[in-house]
Amino acid sequence: MHALYLEFRLQFQHKNGIFVEIGNKFAEIGLLSAINAY
């Protein structure tokens, strides 16, 4: 799960600049929420 998240993040960073920062914030919040849900 975590490896997939990191891989997705790397691929995402190659495409955009400013959206990466916003996307990473939402992704981290979502990931923490998913972990807490379990």
What sign has the CA pseudo-torsion 2, 8, 28, 21?
Answer: positive
Give me Rg for the CA atoms of the chain: 10
The predicted pLDDT at position 13 comes to 65
pLDDT at 16: 62
In tens, the pLDDT along 1-36 reads 578 888 887 777 666 677 778 888 898 898 888 888
CA distance linking residue 14 with residue 34, whole number of Å: 25
- How many Cα atoms occupy the beta-carbon half-sphere of 14 within 13 Å? 5
